[in-house]
Amino acid sequence: MRLSSPRCVSSSFDLSSKFTCILAKIVDMNANGQTPRVGFYTRISTDEDHQKYSLGAQTERLEAFCRAQYGDDWRLHKIYRDTESGTHMNRPGLEEMLFDAEAKAFDVLLVFRVDRLSRKVRELAQMVDDLAKHSVVLKSITEPFDTANAAGKMMLQMLGVFAEFEHATIVERTKVGMEKKAKSGKWVGGVVPYGYQLDPVKGLDVNEEEAIVVRKMFQMYAFGRQGVHTICHKLNEAGYRKRTGQAWDKRVILHIIKSPVYVSKIRWRDAIYEGTHESVVSEVLYNKAKGILKDRAESLSGRRFDNGDDRLLAGVIKCSRCKSHMVGVSTHKKDRRFPYYLCSRRWNTRECDQDYIRADHVEATILQDIKAMFRDEPFIARVREEANKRLVAAKPDLEKEIAWLENQMTKAQGAIDRYFEAFETGKLMAEVCSEKVGDLKARVVGLEAERRDLETRRNRLELPAIDLETLTSFVANLEQLVAAGTNPQKKHLLRQIVKKVLVHDRHTVEVWYALLPPVAGHMHISEKVIQRHFGTLSPADVDDLVEGVADMVVGFLKGGVSSSDRGKTGKDAKTQVIQSTILEARRVG
């Protein structure tokens, strides 16, 4: 094979430089004197529009260097490309290059700069050692080193140190800039939160269509006391979707509820700063959701208490014999269902002989006691004030939800029309058109049902404010008011009032209430069945209780349960009759 004089990049080489160039040519040839096989490695960290040297530009410079260095006596094996950070080794192009080097598929690895391989000295040194083991020489076209000799390896490590220093400096400056931006209340970057859109001038700007869904999540979690699983299911069932068009999942909903960005705050690392953008939810609503989230995360009994179990006293009712919690079970006889509480130790290991106790009897007795306690006039007055406040606040959100639903229906109908037009012009097959139109029509039907439900709720909110007489009617029908609420709402209300229930046997139950005893003469249940203990609530607990009762009253008037939830308890017909009676009383008033 002809060994031609190497062509150097510069035309002003002295004798020493020419000798070095010839020596490099000889080193690059393998033991058989074959043409050197060269591999190119190129990398950028972000998109090419923001890079000084794109992947294509790096490749062109590498090819020019090879033509100047080797003339025609070289062969390109492969170009390895990556578009990732140089601070880690998990890069597809890099991994493929190291695999080929181990297989001795090329003799020389050429890079534009050494920091294209790695920005960490240790990783770079390890990589050079691995390449040397497989007889692969590493070269940079912009830096004077050659790993074929000791001096070149020393120079390489020095360049690696500077590359790592440069990277650390860039990261430090970027973090300082982002922290400064966060302290000034501006969005620091990343994925724009759901409920907002990014304005080039204002920064985060509220996206009203998405903000309605965010408010719905917070209200369901804070006021409805529904878990993220339930919220996720109901949103997907109602046709709501993420920005990507995919269904909601519990992880995303939980992240939204935890995020302070929705109350005009910016989180940077562990610090939270006041933001310049508009809030999506109120501070009160966010703090209430945050408190519920903390309670559920810290208390195992709290998580168990807020689950979907039908038994209202789950988590507070215990067996007096073994101190274990009692769980809800049921039996069936001639199409009738009989609910019971059963000691969990008896259920699991049969190590306790506690009696079964009828759940409906105990719960009914406790509800009668609560009804008597709620006849306190100052308490009723506070509930009335809070309920009316919440009814007024609910109107604008309902209007926005209805407008959003109508907009979605218009979009879906427009899509149906476009599919039909495509079918008529022969651009769409009949089968595909039928499938697409069928899905859209089903969505329109679901949206229409949701809109009717919201309009009914809106009409109820147009009635006069609740007066004391109307609220007294609510208390008189407390069982139906509770039945119309969501299960977490019911459990939360009872948990605030009933602190502990201890079962001695099927005829003796002790109940500890957090409220003062009612006016004499209002309790009609035998003391032999229920042994009662009373206490007092702190002002903060009373506030929480007032809000809980007001939530149930407002939910009752707005339609309480959704159309998909109705018909599950067997009491809905009676509940709706009582709703109608109370609503009529409001109209007359």
The pLDDT tens digits for 559-585 are 543 433 433 334 444 445 444 544 554
Verify that 91 and 228 share a domain, yes or no.
no
The model's confidence at residue 31, banded by pLDDT at 50, 70 and 90, is: very low
Residues whose CB falls within 8 Å of the CB of residue 101, separated by 6 or more in sequence, listed in order: 39, 109, 130, 131, 134, 136
pLDDT over 80 at 501, yes or no? yes
User: Domain count of the chain?
Assistant: 3
The model's confidence at residue 303, banded by pLDDT at 50, 70 and 90, is: very low
Verify that 545 and 431 share a domain, yes or no.
yes
The model's confidence at residue 160, banded by pLDDT at 50, 70 and 90, is: low
pTM: 0.47
- Reduced to 3 states (helix: H, G, I; strand: E, B; else coil), residue 24 is helix
Instruction: Check: CB of residue 439 under 8 Å from CB of residue 364.
Output: no
Verify that 50 and 89 share a domain, yes or no.
yes
Average per-residue pLDDT for the chain: 75
Q: State how far the alpha carbon of 564 is from the alpha carbons of 234, 237, 488, in Å.
A: 9, 9, 17
From 126, 144, 169, give the residue that closes a domain. Answer: 169
Residue 283 structure tokens: 């501070």
Tens-place pLDDT, residues 341-381? 999 888 887 889 998 898 888 888 888 887 777 777 777 77
- Reduced to 3 states (helix: H, G, I; strand: E, B; else coil), residue 39 is strand
From 235, 263, 298, give the residue that closes a domain. Answer: 298
How far is residue 42's CA from residue 116's CA, in Å, rounded to a whole number? Answer: 7
Verify that 398 and 427 share a domain, yes or no.
yes
Does residue 189 form part of some domain? no
pLDDT over 80 at 324, yes or no? yes
How far is residue 180's CA from residue 521's CA, in Å, rounded to a whole number? Answer: 66
Q: 490 — alpha (psi -120 to 50), left (phi > 0) or beta?
A: alpha
Q: Which CATH number covers residue 232?
A: 3.90.1750.20
DSSP per-residue letters across 551-580 = HHHHHHHHTSS-TTTTTSSS-HHHHHHHHH
Verify that 376 and 481 share a domain, yes or no.
yes
Instruction: Check: CB of residue 68 under 8 Å from CB of residue 141.
Output: no
Does residue 185 form part of some domain? no
Residues whose CB falls within 8 Å of the CB of residue 107, separated by 6 or more in sequence, listed in order: 28, 29, 30, 36, 37, 38, 135, 136, 137
DSSP per-residue letters across 320-355 = TTT-PBEEEEEEEETTEEEEEEEEHHHHHT----PP
Does residue 499 form part of some domain? yes
From 114, 143, 169, give the residue that closes a domain. Answer: 169
The model's confidence at residue 297, banded by pLDDT at 50, 70 and 90, is: low
Of 314 and 466, the structure prediction assigns the larger pLDDT to 314
Whose structure tokens read 């039909």? 420
Verify that 42 and 110 share a domain, yes or no.
yes
Tens-place pLDDT, residues 424-447? 888 888 888 888 888 888 878 877
What is the Rg, in whole angstroms, of the alpha carbon atoms belonging to the chain? Answer: 36
Verify that 323 and 287 share a domain, yes or no.
no
Q: Which domain covers residue 278, as residue numbers?
A: 204-298
| Long-range residue pairs from 390-396, CB within 8 A, at least 24 positions apart, any chain | 390/550, 390/551, 390/554, 391/461, 391/465, 391/466, 391/554, 391/557, 394/461, 394/554, 394/558, 395/458, 395/461
Q: Which DSSP letter does residue 8 get?
A: P
Does residue 306 form part of some domain? no
pLDDT for the residue 78:
92
Residue 41 structure tokens: 């490695």
Strand runs labelled E in 173-325: 196-199, 203-206, 265-268, 271-274, 317-319
